[in-house]
Amino acid sequence: MATYAIGDVQGCMKQLGKLLKEISFNRKKDTLWFCGDLVNRGPDSLETLRFIKGLGKHAVVVLGNHDLHLLAIAHGIGACRRKDTLHPILEAPDRKELLSWLIQQPLIHTDNSLGYMMVHAGIPPQWSLKECQKYAQEVQAALRGPHPKHFFKHMYGNEPACWQPSLKGQARLRAITNYFTRMRLCDPQGCLELNYKGAPEGTPLGYQPWYEYRDTKRDRLSIVFGHWAALEGTCPIKHIHALDTGCVWGGPLTVMNLETKKRYSVS
């Protein structure tokens, strides 16, 4: 019995199948953690979503920005972009079941017994892990409530870039969502820079990768995250593990055994 965390799959079902063979995944005993962005840009988003949902309790999922984008379109907000590969899901006969399952997934997942917290993009420096759980629940309540369309209508946008506890309403929910699902860079106060997607060595002046500002003594859990393909799965902070290795862009798909920290990849 083992627990594995996998970086952004983004509809790359063929590579996911290869990776699970590589680790001899047993769907009756083992558990897979998915760091968000299950779908989009890859060729098999529908098959990927069906497979992960079909794992039942043996799959643990957090939502990524592409997953939220799919849900927004399904609720009539926005439209598919040129490189999106979401139409097969939106036109599938089991669309309702798939999307109803997806919208129930959290923004973060915590397992105290394993000693890990999973998030799609990152944890801002000004939040404790306990605060992360509290703020994530605010967004999750909006997604799971009677009017998720209202949330999606206001979800897109880069402002407010800086967190203030006094933020209210949709601006507050948008900020929380951006931190958990879109963040790569911030300044020492946690103000976001959401346009840069390159490697850390090219970071704009005044900003650093979010993990550079985490207080390692403050975090009682290790953190696993995806989202930032340009990191190529590397993070210099010992207890923070980057898992997006850019499979959808031609890189490998990577999984890490959470008990042993051993990694496996397929091209």
For the record, the structure tokens of 251 come out as 């890189």
Q: How far is CA 122 from CA 36, 51, 146, in A?
A: 11, 26, 28
Provide the pLDDT for residue 215: 82
68 touches 177 (CB < 8 A): yes
For the record, the structure tokens of 257 come out as 């055994």
Average pLDDT over residues 79-106: 97
For the record, the structure tokens of 50 come out as 């069906």
Amino acid at 214: R
CA 108, CA 96: separation in Å to the nearest integer? 23
Q: Is the pLDDT of residue 226 over 90?
A: yes
Q: Is the pLDDT of residue 218 over 90?
A: no
Residue 176, classed as helix, strand or coil, is helix
Q: Kindly report the CATH class assigned to 3-266.
A: alpha beta
Alpha carbons within 13 A on the beta-carbon side of 201 = 2
Would you say the C-alpha torsion 134, 139, 145, 146 has a positive or negative sign? positive
Q: Is the pLDDT of residue 252 over 80?
A: yes
CA 98, CA 93: separation in Å to the nearest integer? 10
Provide the pLDDT for residue 232: 97
Q: Burial letters for 59-74: b for 16+ Cβ neighbours within 10 Å, e otherwise? A: bbbbbbbbbbbbbbbb
Residue 185, classed as helix, strand or coil, is strand
Average pLDDT over residues 90-109: 98
pLDDT tens digits for range 181-216? 999 999 999 999 999 999 999 999 999 999 999 887
Q: Is the pLDDT of residue 248 over 90?
A: yes
Provide the pLDDT for residue 259: 97
How many other CB atoms are found less than 10 A from the CB of residue 109? 20
* Domain segments of the chain as ranges: 3-266
Q: Is the pLDDT of residue 69 over 90?
A: yes
For the record, the structure tokens of 245 come out as 């290795």
For the record, the structure tokens of 235 come out as 């993070």
Confidence (pTM): 0.97
| 119: β partners | 108, 225
CA 206, CA 92: separation in Å to the nearest integer? 46
Provide the pLDDT for residue 217: 77
Provide the pLDDT for residue 216: 74
pLDDT tens digits for range 102-157? 999 999 999 999 999 999 999 999 999 999 999 999 999 999 999 999 999 999 99
Closest CA relative to residue 163, chosen from 188, 189, 183: 189
